[in-house]
Amino acid sequence: MKFGVCAGLDKLEMVAEAGYDFIEPAARRTLHPEEGEEGFARMREIMERSSLRAEAFNIFLPGDLKVTGTEVDFKRLMDYATLCIQRAPTLGGEVIVFGSGGARSVPEGFSRDEAKKQIIHFLQEVGTVAQECGIKIAVEPLRKEESNIINSVSEGMEFVQGAEHPAVGILADVYHMESEKEPLDNILSCGDSLLHIHIADPAQRRAPGRGEYDFGPFFARLKSVGYDRRISIECKWEDFETEAKTAVQFVKEAWEKA
């Protein structure tokens, strides 16, 4: 199992010193898909100086780059997504998280069935690009406050199965699962489609170990399906440098005990 943290490359040195195996930055701010080569070249230089790699990326799409509704600019959408996917392996990327609640949320009055077809079509198209680049796309269920579609692992699996693409799978985030009161047992039906994990203490989305949440049942279910890829901490930090060190140790110990 590899343990990482969602953070920008400005924190790369602290992440390495804290003992993480990888970093998970935001795709838009790191891969610079619409800002030319210069910005991305700076990110590449930063990564080359580190022993860590950006094995995962989150925040795939900006909110104004719609996947659903009548205002979808599919050419811009695919140009953006394709360049992200093509650049990610240069920094060590292996998985890109498709949360992007603002981009995928269904516009008011728009057909949810049609929105589902749009999202599945997008997943199929980016899946093809991702497969060519050795990347996986992990669909991230989000709580209803962040998206009005794909709010549970079970719903997310409907989209994964609809896309029916080997490069497209699911992410499980314990914060969103607990927020939506989703049974942890829903993880058990994911099988090999489970590509990535996000964690935080669900009470206030704090760093693991800063609250009272018992990660044992969640981790036990991951182990029961043979999950052995990556777990990223995605939370709100009060003091990143201090909390990041204790959080990764807490998570490693909780994983061993589960």
* Residues 6-45 pLDDT 10s: 999 999 999 999 999 999 999 999 999 988 789 999 999 9
- Mean pLDDT computed over every residue of the chain: 97
- What is the CATH number assigned to the segment(s) 2-257? 3.20.20.150
- Tokens found for residue 234: 């995605």
Q: Buried b vs exposed e over 115-135: b needs ≥16 C-beta within 10 Å?
A: bbebbbebbebbbebbbebeb
Helices (H), the chain: 12-18, 27-31, 36-48, 74-87, 101-104, 112-133, 153-163, 174-179, 216-224, 240-257
CB 80 within 8 Å of CB 28: no
pTM of the model: 0.97
Q: Express each pLDDT in 79-116 by its tens digit.
A: 999 999 999 999 999 999 999 999 999 999 999 999 99
